[in-house]
Chain A
Amino acid sequence: ELKVEQNPLFLSMQEGKNYTIYCNYSTTSDRLYWYRQDPGKSLESLFVLLSNGAVKQEGRLMASLDTKARLSTLHITAAVHDLSATYFCAVCTSGTYKYIFGTGTRLKVLA
């Protein structure tokens, strides 16, 4: 059974600082997604990572994937308040269409 864990679960950081969110998964996967959820809102797709070594960047966020370690990271550079949200990774088991969500990381950026 595929399990997806994120850490930290909660993250409070100062504006301008850098930090990394980690997503570990338990079985082989061929797709990994990162989503953002604002309070009371639905999910917004940020990145999809399809292969080992894949790296995607958008603004202050950069996501990477290491399929051998079964690990993805979401790196935040010079955080700003607008990045405050909950971030989820989601992993598809190889050969299936279903994807399992991580536990989520609630990020709060302090001005």
Chain B
Amino acid sequence: SAVISQKPSRDICQRGTSLTIQCQVDSQVTMMFWYRQQPGQSLTLIATANQGSEATYESGFVIDKFPISRPNLTFSTLTVSNMSPEDSSIYLCSVEDRGRTNYGYTFGSGTRLTVV
């Protein structure tokens, strides 16, 4: 199955600053997904990133706040911009694991972000 390396694993940031989260996949994938998981909550899809095109954002999420890059088929970044304490969450990237489609999607290890 696909292996995703997500960095950083955690960070504590000052409000008003930005943090860029990276996900590296060990195989080529068409779509990468970015999720947010607020404390004690379920996962909410932020956006879908396709290589070579603009990311598609879900309702309630905008590019200015969460810019995404997808320079190639194995890598993507999510930036959390102008952070406030409300952005404190776990952020996860995910890919459809075509090598194991019957086993669903594979997730990165997550980035635990605390904004102070």
Residues on A close to B: CB < 8 A?
33, 35, 40-43, 45, 47-48, 50, 88, 90, 97-104
Contacts and interface: CB of A to CB of B under 8 A. Distances in A.
Interface residues of B, number: 21
A102 B42 CA distance: 7
B75 interface: no
B31 A35 contact: no
Given A97-B31, A97-B48, A33 B105 contact: yes
Interface string B79-116: 00000000000001000100001111111111010000
Contacts of B41: 104
B43 interface: yes
Contacts of B43: 43, 88, 90, 101
A33 B103 CA distance: 8
Scoring A43, A97, A102, A103 by chain B CB atoms within 10 A of each residue's CB, the highest score goes to: A43
B2 to A, nearest CB: 11
A90 B109 CA distance: 18
Given A48-B102, A97-B96, A42 B107 contact: yes
B42 A104 contact: yes
5 contacts: A41-B110, A42-B110, A43-B43, A97-B48, A99-B45
